Structure 1
Amino acid sequence: MKKYIIQSIRLTLVLIVLLCVLYPISIALAGRFSKGNGGGEKITKNGKVIGYALLGQSFTKPEYFWGRPSAVGYNAAGSAGSNKGPSNPDYLKEVSNRIDTLLKYNPTIKKADIPADMVTASGSGLDPNISEQGAIIQIKRIAAYRKIDERKVTELVVENTSKPFLGLFGPSAVNVLKLNLALDEIISKK
């Protein structure tokens, strides 16, 4: 019995050193060598931080690209999904309202053309990206509200689309904040 207690204490001490000391230090060091030095990739405009590349923001004006809906109001302190299933009547009503809003502001698209990411929140509620199709369905609206050529807006979408990792893993995605900043740049150069 004494043999097992000593082994258990040794194992506990080894795991404490590994998991409470070495692992956190290695993660902190890895963060120091990443973009933003572990504080996130900050996006600045005129020297002022206006957002983070990996944190979604709410865009509701029709002259901007809209991001993925958030179940937590884009509050990073309360990151979470809605946890409502596809048969929940409240959830279905919420998704239906989002579809109606998209169709109202984008009258040239059909309901079947709306990608799921434009009407459903991500698991974290903080997704900064939309699908390439989610950006494409908004081009006509943006061009009309901004009174610019659709081709320019399309070029911006193409320039701001990140392709799948190694061309294989994950979908093409568009960072909404970066795209909207690029859109503002075109307008400021007019």
Structure 2
Amino acid sequence: MAGGAARIDHVVTSGTFSLDGGTWDVDNNVWIVGDDTEAVVIDAAHDADAIEAALGGRALRAILCTHAHNDHVDAAPALAARTGAPILLHPDDLPLWKMTHPDRAPDGELADGQEITVAGVTLRVLHTPGHAPGAVCFHVPALDTVFSGDTLFQGGPGATGRSFSDFPTIVESIRERLLTLPGETVVRTGHGDVTSVGAEAPHLDEWIARGH
């Protein structure tokens, strides 16, 4: 049974981010890629009820984690329990994952170059460390988009001031893995507004000079 054309659905959920002894209120983008019958969720943040409602009864094939900061994975086990979908995470982020879910391991690993197909489109995993060691982005050429997690935002790289992060590493990831994508590629971020590769690429040297 055909499920129609693949599309991107978007849910904003609210909660907190905690690391290094601090806690901040955050709004997170949850992205759903699929058609009328099946989908994957990128970053099950804060609110399993809202994400499940947005799925609308579609079969959830996987819960994909851009990285394991608590605000991106806190609702993942609950969503997995309800849907039977596996949680997939890059193994370099297991130390961060265990801070939030010490008794529940991810179900599988993400690896650079891995391809995940849903609703007739392919999501290609790009390992983009810097914000977190196991941070990944998901490039979907058929939809002219990349899901950047907290690696690249409108206006610059993700934060690198806390544990497990590194500014030169995130700059290299952005330079080599994201800014090499077609300029029209829409960047769908982990927080805030979307941008594009073409809009961000000219500012790389400014970010380096600022040294975020």
TM class by shorter chain equals under 0.3
Higher helix share: 1
TM-score computed with the length of structure 1 as normaliser:
0.26
Whose RCO is larger (CA < 8 A, sep 6+)?
A: 1
TM-score, reference length from structure 2: 0.24
The structure that is strand-richer by fraction is 2
Q: Which has the larger radius of gyration?
A: 1
